[in-house]
Chain A
Amino acid sequence: LAPTSASREQLHAREGGVAIPHLVPLPLLGRSHRRETTASAAMAAAAAAAEPKTKYDRQLRIWGDQGQAALEKASICLLNCGPTGTEALKNLVLGGIGSVTVVDGSKVEQSDLGNNFLLDEGCLGQSRAKSICSFLQELNDAVKAKYVEESPATMIDTNPSFFSQFTVVLATQLPESSLLKLDSICRSANIVLVAARSYGLTGLVRVSIKEHCVIESKPDHSLDDLRLHNPWPELKQFAKSIDICDKDPVVHKHTPYIVILVRLAEKWADAHDGQLPSTRQEKREFKDLIRAHMLNVDEDNYKEAVESSYKVSVTPGISDEIRQIIDDSSSEVNFSSSDFWVLVASLKEFIANEGNGELPLEGTIPDMTSLTEVLCKLTKDLPS
């Protein structure tokens, strides 16, 4: 086989999309495979579906259908619609939030004019909440904009159950005393609270939310941890089976970097009392060791090995952060535990048993310069 550079795309299936728990995509915007049988019905459906798709096109390309559905299902309560609150609502309304309810007891005064881009002279004397709502409605008629002419402090004190209908409460320019009360109301109703204040050129935003699960479907730094500092038996064997000193230039420049690292790490450990490079000096020397093995300057696999050489210096065992999660009392699961904690509980068991104190491996291999046949063999050798 002639050498080719194999890449992740060719070896692995495409990942699934983002999973957002608890939300159901709206049928109109979800992936639908139903077809209308007559052309005119199709056109009507197309026209109806097309408009929000066109309007939201640019943001759909960021968060997709499910993100958009989450937005459209949400209801926001804004407390105080001064410039800060208005600016926030503007963004949410433009994006297609399900509904907004503005709670503000004040009337539009002179000082509001020129200060709030959603108010003009015609609003003077009227309810500020009402005026803001009608402008917001103009921005996006798909959003339900409602208002309550009441001061937020009063609402918090006299009618706390009002808030349980919302997904998010956005409290702007509220004093601490009100915020504290509001926070406990929101927490017990499991509602997200976002508190914001602004003064001139400074501002503050705080989010108060109970423990919840966030799934990073496309992490920036995938760990691609092949546990090079403590390779599993098949990988060790595989690495041994390859002659890294093979003088054939084609073979030499296509030895996968993980093999290079495993072999050279072993060589290092043999010369250093079983220890892997740990100090800065040692890490530098290890890199020099790798470079010394290069036959010529354009060997990408060796460059990859040098770049990834730090991976052999990873502290073995489990990191403190993971240890903290595993040791958390929530990992003692029962029937009411969330999926996340069930997974943690299983992880804990794995580490104690099959894992021998180590975490399970990811099960995929990163992109690397190699011969296709070698990569295929490597994939097969991964532990199940």
Chain B
Amino acid sequence: PSRAAKVLMVGAGGIGCELLKTLALSGFSDIHVIDLDTIEVSNLNRQFLFRKSHVGQSKAHVARDAILKFRPNINIESHHANVKDAQFNVDFFKQFNVVLNGLDNLDARRHVNRLCLAAEVPLVESGTTGFLGQVTVHVKGKTECYECQPKPIPKSYPVCTITSTPSKFVHCIVWAKELLFAKLFGDKNQDNDLNVHSKDGSSSKLDVFERDVDEDLDQYAQRIYDHVFGYNIEVALENEETWKNRRRPNPVYIRDTLPEAVKQNGSSWDCSNDHEEPSAMASLGLTNPQEIWTLAENSRVLLEAFKLFFEKREKEIGNLVFDKDDQLAVEFVTAAANIRAHSFGIPLHSLFEAKGVAGNIVHAVATTNAIIAGLIVIEAIKVLQDDYKNYRMTYCLEHPTKKLLLMPVEPFEPNPSCYVCSETPLLLDVNTKVTKLKEVIDKIIKSKLGMNLPLVMIGSTLVFEDGDGLEEDEAANYALNLEKVLAELPAPVINGTKLTVEDFQQELSCSINIKHREEFDEEKEPDGMVLSGWSAPVEKQINSNGENKSAASSSSARATDDTVEDPSKPGMKRKLDELLETKENCDASSSAQVVEDDDDCTMLDGNPALIKKKRLQ
């Protein structure tokens, strides 16, 4: 079957390289590859089709060239593009016999899932994190689609934990990244929760973070330092209630941590070297990223990094977004997070660890990807042969359970209440008098429902459309509608109204019934709206006779004593998900909490930037 098949591979990274190799060696000769990324040094420990000399080039193209070297007579078409681009529409997908995913984010996976459903092409999904991995098969009508089981959403933190009461290092990192770094170097028009008022109101400025005209850089840096680590903490301490049951933070001032710096105004450390990347660590002679710096060292790094941004990268200020590959940004965030951690009695971390947390770096190794790639091809062959009774979801574990390192599980039937592959309407609780259409689109339609270019209709009235090719007056009209509260839209949205939401490209359409509610819990429902109606499926497996059996709910109860369930029974799937969702045993430096990926293929994924930003605002 492999010779005749036309295969689409989405992703040419960790899994992609191994997969392309395995496909080629297994006789596949008609392959398309899509990947938007370019090659980075940190890829080279596992993405073996790439060399140092390829850094900066397109993964899709280089992968293709590398494979053709040992299999010159096969067809590989490489696309250096985003799979969400309009060119990859349903017609494009329809030409393939099977689609194989090697992606690193939930967003793209959902998008591909919808296109595969629309094109009626089977999808083999996969993901890896360190030594864990999985391969799953999704065939419309026969098995669950990728979205039948809700995927875990990435962890986000309540605003007050970040701004006032951090208790873990990751809270300090988020503060340093999303508040301090963003405030100083990012878009000035973004809302930011940092306290901008100064101590004595003596300065006429509204925003204490603004640099005074002709203010000396050293002085500016120290002033900001004292403001965020000293003054803001003192202000927070004034609220007794907050600290009744919590350890009180210690304000930190530059005069205490770096007394000599205060006197040395105007002279900076030796940074006269004009090498490529300005680095505070290099200027200060700190060479080991795995070393945990003292409070004084962190303070020096912070001030130095601060100054280097202004001295060497001034043009970028106002536009910077944190990037884990931006050495200076990582140094800045590490130092800031550490100083804050010190205040709050949280253990400090090395740059290496901090970078992992701040950059949501996922640990990765070649072997797991090789195993998963092999399993993908095995499932792909079954799919091509229509061998549906033998489709398996295979989980690659770190330690053998019941002597198995690879656990095959039969796929489940489609979830009848999955809004993606069936037709169930959803329910949205929202305050229609106060909530703007824009918020519903951002928080629900694009974010939770994963639509890329949605269209919103109420009855026959089109209130919003996204995409190119809009007329000027249409676009203006939609822009106006975005700012209107639901109840005041041209077709008013009130209790009981039904919204129809569509994404043409994904060929996904669903209905949302509106329920008007006035009160929302700030902590539990911070979005001010709640989407429901998408329930977890009753576990029905297709057994080897092709019959369906439902799981009795008692058999899927989690065992509280140590018996491990048989992998072929239902309920095992849930147990596996629980097993796979714990990440404690993953990293060597136990303190780093790796949240989800940014770089390579994982199972537990999400779009951190999207969700975290929204939490904080």
Please report A residues at the B interface, Cβ cutoff 8 Å.
Answer: 2, 4, 14-15, 17-18, 31-33, 35-40, 42-43, 45-46, 49, 51, 53-65, 67, 83, 87, 90-91, 94-96, 113-121, 138-140, 201, 218, 220, 283, 306-307, 309-310
Contacts and interface: CB of A to CB of B under 8 A. Distances in A.
Most buried by A among B21, B365, B378, B585: B365
A286 B474 CA distance: 69
B585 A218 contact: yes
A87 B22 CA distance: 11
Contact of B366 (A53, A65, A90, A120): A90
Most buried by B among A18, A54, A96: A54
Given A54-B41, A114-B25, A64 B588 contact: yes
A39 B285 contact: yes
Contacts of A201: 378
Given A39-B283, A138-B51, A54 B584 contact: no
Given A36-B287, A201-B378, A4 B245 contact: yes
Interface residues of B, number: 63
Given A31-B288, A120-B69, A220-B585, A58 B590 contact: no
B524 to A, nearest CB: 15
Most buried by B among A36, A42, A218: A42
Given A31-B290, A39-B273, 19 more contacts: A2-B244, A18-B588, A33-B291, A42-B285, A43-B282, A46-B281, A53-B352, A58-B45, A59-B363, A61-B587, A91-B366, A91-B370, A94-B44, A114-B70, A117-B67, A119-B70, A139-B48, A218-B584, A283-B561
A14 B365 contact: no
B588 A60 contact: yes
B275 interface: yes
Interface in B252-293: 269-271, 273, 275, 279, 281-283, 285-291
Contacts of A55: 41-42, 44-45
Nearest to B247: A10
Contacts of B281: 46
B282 A61 contact: no
Contacts of A32: 287-288, 291
A59 B285 contact: no
15 contacts: A2-B245, A31-B291, A35-B287, A42-B285, A42-B286, A43-B273, A46-B279, A57-B361, A60-B352, A90-B366, A91-B366, A94-B45, A117-B67, A201-B378, A306-B560
Contact of B594 (A14, A38, A61): A61
A95 B46 CA distance: 8
A279 B282 CA distance: 66
B503 interface: no
Nearest to A48: B287
A189 to B, nearest CB: 26
Contacts, number: 148
Contact of A53 (B285, B289, B291, B367): B289
| Those 6 A-B pairs whose CB atoms lie nearest each other, nearest first | A64-B588, A61-B363, A42-B285, A58-B364, A310-B561, A62-B363
Contacts of A121: 72
A58 B365 contact: yes
A14 B591 CA distance: 9
B290 A39 contact: no
Contacts of A39: 269-271, 273, 282-283, 285
A94 B46 contact: yes
B406 to A, nearest CB: 12
Contact of A63 (B273, B291, B588): B588
Nearest to B594: A61
Interface string B396-415: 00010000000000000000
A95 B365 contact: yes
A118 B600 CA distance: 24
B73 to A, nearest CB: 8
B379 to A, nearest CB: 12
Interface string B467-509: 0000000000000000000000000000000000000000000
B605 interface: no
A207 B435 CA distance: 63
Interface string B51-75: 1000000000000000101111000
Most buried by B among A43, A118, A119: A43
B12 to A, nearest CB: 15
A265 B126 CA distance: 47
B366 A94 contact: yes
